[in-house]
Amino acid sequence: MGFAALATSYFSAAADANAVTQAYIAAESRPITVIEGDDITFSRVENSQEFSGSRIGQIAQDDMGFMWFGTQYGLYRFDGYSHMVFAADPKARNQLGGVFVYAIHNDKSGRLWISTDKGVDTFDPRTGTFNRIAYAGPSGPTAQSFYQDRSGTMWLSTTAGLYGVDSNGKTLAHFQADSEDSGSLASSDLKFAKEDRSGTFWITSSAGLEAIDRSSGRVLTRIPLREPREINFVEDRSGMLWIYHAGGSGLSAFDRSTNSLTNYRFVDSTGAPMPRFGIFTALEDRDGGLWFGTGGAGLLRLDVDRQRFIRYRHSPSDPQSLGGDDIVTLFQDREDNIWVALHGEQLNLFPARKPLFEKLPPRPASLRVRSEKMVNSILEVEGQSLWISYMGMLLGVDQQSGERQDLHQRLGLQADVISMAQDARGRIWLGTTGTGIVLVEPSGRVVRFQHDPADQSSLADDVVNDILVDRSQNVWFATWGGLSRFDDKSGRFENYKPPEIDPKYLALAEDSSGNIWLGTHQYGLQRFNPVTKEFVKFPSIGAPGSVSNGRVNAVHVDRRGVVWAGTQNGLDALDPATSHIRNYRVNDGLPGNAVSCILEDAQEGIWFGTNKGIARLDAATGKIQSYSRIDGLPGLDFTGWGACYQSRAHKMYFAGFSGATAFYPDRIRMRRHVPPVEFTDLMIAGRRFPDGPPQSQPQVLPVLGRLSLPYSQNTFTAGFAALSYTNPTAIGYRFRLVGLGEEWHAVDSGRRVASYNSLPPGDYRLEVQAAASGGNWSETTALKLTILEPWWQTTWFYTLVSLLVLGSALLIYQLRMRQVMHQFEIRLDERVAERTRIARELHDSLLQGFHGLMFRLQAVRNLLPARSQEAAIALDEALSRGDETVERAREAVTELRTFGASEPDLEAALRSMAQDMPTLSQDGAPNYRIVVEGAPRRMIPLVRDDVLQVGREAFRNAVQHARAKLVQVEVQWGVERFSIRVRDDGLGLEPQLIAYGRDGHWGIQGMRERTRQLGGSLEIRSDSNGTLVELKIPASRAYVGSD
């Protein structure tokens, strides 16, 4: 549907487009009564001190629950604990255009529209981005308010008329005043625009109130009210338009059925006129209640039925009153709390609906009394009046008329009243802090009783902490000097206390047997038998099963006979039949360990005041439910003088340092849930998320989807808040990281941070919940994130590494095979060369010897028988040649043997070689010595064999050719090299023989070949004194495991 078509649906076409209906204005103003009210508990918004003094002119709440405040110093966002400020910054692109904020509006899509001194911006909390709206060019007029109608059109009331724009800021309509057109707007200085319940579109301006046709901008109804400042209206349930304005009388009412305007003037309850005051803001709450904020006269609530206002003002004597009387703006949040912005004062907050926990009447502001809010004691007298003892005064309140009386002065009290009771005869007993007891008889007669040290029948002490009227109508007094009972017949007192101690009694209770249970200052719990006058003590011994603390502030005996003791460090339940004591503390669900007063409801619920609020314990199940400021309590500390009271109508009263409250226990049900938690900030790897250039980085955390983070960013810190503002410090939180563990981690409101470091790769879900003072946990808010695998744990990396490992293994295998083949070829060449040498020796020596022998034997055969003599000579030569051949064969066989192969070390192998060597010599066995230097080391087997062969060849040459008598073999196991030396005392060798070897022999040549293969050096020196053969091999080539 188009804009014009939608707009015309509100009005039928007029016969005369220029016809304007003028409102009828009553000639005289009508009086309207203002009475004073004090039944609302106003609280100061926690953690708002830093910005609420900046004159908050506008308040809004976004769809997530964050509060937004417009001031002359910028725009503030508030989460109940901390705030964030937005103001123009020429260096930042993603920022508010101006500083002075004129208007804020949350539209149907969840965006905020903000008007500043530099134009109009929209802000999307889901993305954290600002967007400039150029509805009237780059330097348009100032927008003073926003209103989005049912069609979704956003209307801007500006200093240059009315603008209608779509969601993108495109201008759809512009209406302004035209002096030549009577049907146009009366003024272009527009303040507000909005629809009434019937769909009529109204605008307010400095000229008054006008109903217009949105399709044409024509005025339909005009209500002239000259107002240069604030002017607007609210509509009550009957359709009456209550027009409020800053000037004049401040209030008018327009009745659409009669088209008449009535101006009102304010009068007090006596009908006397009140000083004029302007009304600057108004609010219709969700229940239809109308609230008006004035300039200096406080807050007004309209009682439509009685046509009167109830006024709430600041009272220095009432800390729970409004924080100031000069109100700037009002706003109702999604928890139905109404926010009050004051000039120069901290933000105030109060519940729009009447809380289940009532505020008690404060002391009159007209009385010059101390301003402490502590309440000492409460008593309801005959269901008609309420007596409330404050610090410095006793207040009497008529519960029907609300009339209040200073009983402190009337009764002539000289000290604070800290305990009160009424007996069956209607007498009221008052216990004081130092002047004993004051008895107020029904006739009004006042009687005083005080302690007299010289009179044992006087009151035990002048400090009376508690008063008990037992079932027999005996009146008992817990004093700081003992237990006293008043004797009605004699008008005297009977005093009791255990021997050897001087107790200060704090609390009294009676059981079904008539025993009196007493709470003491430091001696724990006691039981007194009025018949036997005996005391039984239940002291605190600091162990489970005993009284939790020596100071017992309160005592109560329930219907089952269980004795409940409220101590300074917990709540105790004593079973008199077994003397077993069950202890309850904070870990068991108590809001605080200091318990001050105890009452019982009709459902066996035990109610008690603590230093952290009020709680109820279900005696049957042991479940504890706590209540705090978020439920309407005036504060948290309900300790003090043990003040609590239950009326005949079962209404309970609790009082203490935080003031007093009253409630019907059967009306108190499950507490409300706190809103779901929202994430307020996020740090990833030490950097704020989302990361980006400072010029465009969002200041707020956008709505988060699933986050995928690289492994290098596996550390994060998330902040969160429940966005509940009544008592945020009383909200507890818990969180867990699913994927890492299932255990919840509980934190208080001061530690709303979840931090995790060095997370392994995987999928995670951070879950957060909130609860108020032990109540039910809120819905779970979750942040999903994935820590990606590091590059060295990815599939492609594993594949690449596998291929590299496989390729490396193949390469190593090939290189190793080449090395093995190369070594094999070397060794094969060595063996082939060695076998070739042996074959040559066999050929040159043994085979030739055998051939020569065969020739000689053939010659002998040819000489026989004719020449026998010559045959004999030839045969002798053949035999001699045969011996030589046999000797050469023996030498060849010796060459093929591996000397010492079975010996465990080199020295043993050399000895075995030397022992076999004499058989090669015809000159007898030579002497030999083997000398070893250094610690033997394990040799490479092939090297060891070659060393033995070289040593054997040198030893054999010394014995066979040099004819040595002494051969010495020296083995040196050096660190850098291995060496073996063979010395002899034989004939020596010719230099030519050393250089080239003996013709037809391969010994020296074979030694040199082996030396080259070993990578060592061979030195042969010889003279007439003998021969030295020395072989040196580097350690790395000789020893196993040497580099």
pLDDT tens for 729-757 read 889 999 999 999 999 999 999 999 999 99
Q: Who wins on pLDDT, 1022 or 371?
A: 1022
**What is the per-residue pLDDT for 898?**
46
Could you report the per-residue pLDDT of 209-236, keeping only the tens digit for each? 999 999 999 999 999 988 888 899 999 9
CATH superfamily of 421-666: YVTN repeat-like/Quinoprotein amine dehydrogenase (2.130.10.10)
User: What is the mean predicted confidence (pLDDT) over 70-81?
Assistant: 93
CA–CA distance, 116 with 85 (Å, rounded to integer): 14
Cα dihedral 994, 997, 999, 1001 sign: positive
Average pLDDT over residues 257-263: 92
**Cα(120)–Cα(6) distance, rounded to whole angstroms?**
25
Between 907 and 278, the more confident residue is: 278
pLDDT of residue 6: 34
Mean pLDDT of 619-642: 88
pLDDT tens-place string over residues 942-979 = 888 888 888 888 888 888 777 888 989 999 999 899 99
Tell me, what's the pLDDT at 369? Answer: 52
Domains of the chain: which residue ranges?
19-355, 421-666, 678-787, 794-896, 900-1043
Give the residue with greater pLDDT, 249 vs 474: 474
Task: Give the tokens for residue 189.
Answer: 């200085």
Helix (H, G, I), strand (E, B) or coil at 599: strand
Nearest partner of 214 among 370, 10, 484, judged by Cα: 10
Same fold, 19-355 and 421-666: yes
* Six token digits for residue 364: 């009159």
Give tens-digit pLDDT for 417-458. Answer: 999 999 999 999 999 999 999 999 999 999 999 999 999 999
Closest to 730 measured CA to CA, from 746, 749, 747, 744: 749
Neighbour count for residue 768 (Cβ, 10 Å): 25
Q: SS3 for 271?
A: coil
Give the closest residue to 303 by CA, choosing from 283, 289, 286. Answer: 289
Those residues whose C-beta lies under 8 Å from the C-beta of residue 691, and which sit 6 or more positions away, are 684, 697
Handedness of CA 61, 65, 69, 70 (dihedral sign): negative
Name the pairing type of β-strands 251-255 and 260-267. antiparallel
- DSSP lists the bridge partners of residue 273 as 267
Q: 115-121: long-range contacts at Cβ-Cβ below 8 A with a sequence spacing of 24 or more?
A: 115/142, 115/143, 115/144, 115/145, 115/146, 115/156, 116/75, 116/88, 117/142, 118/88, 120/156, 120/169, 121/96, 121/97
Distance between CA atoms of residues 755 and 28, nearest Å: 68
95: confidence class by pLDDT, cuts 50, 70, 90: confident
Distance (Å) of CA 141 to CA 116, 117, 157, 161, 188: 10, 9, 10, 9, 11
Per the omega criterion (within 30 degrees of 0), is the bond before 991 cis?
no
Band the pLDDT of 76: cuts 50, 70, 90: very high
Structure tokens at 419: 């305990």
- What is the spatial order of strands in the sheet that 482-487 belongs to? 464-469, 475-479, 482-487, 492-496
Nearest to 625 by CA among 599, 597, 611, 606: 606
Determine the average pLDDT of the residues in 135-164.
92
Which CATH code fits 19-355? 2.130.10.10
Q: Does 899 score more than 50 pLDDT?
A: no
User: What architecture is domain 678-787?
Assistant: Sandwich (2.60)
Q: Are strands 30-36 and 308-312 parallel, antiparallel or unpaired?
A: parallel
Looking at per-residue confidence, does 317 or 752 come out higher? 752
Among 18-32, 223-237, 881-895, 955-969, the least confident range: 881-895
Strand order in the sheet with 613-618: 595-600, 605-610, 613-618, 624-627
DSSP code at position 693: -
Q: For domain 900-1043, give its CATH number from 3.40.718.10, 3.40.109.10, 3.40.50.720, 3.30.565.10.
A: 3.30.565.10
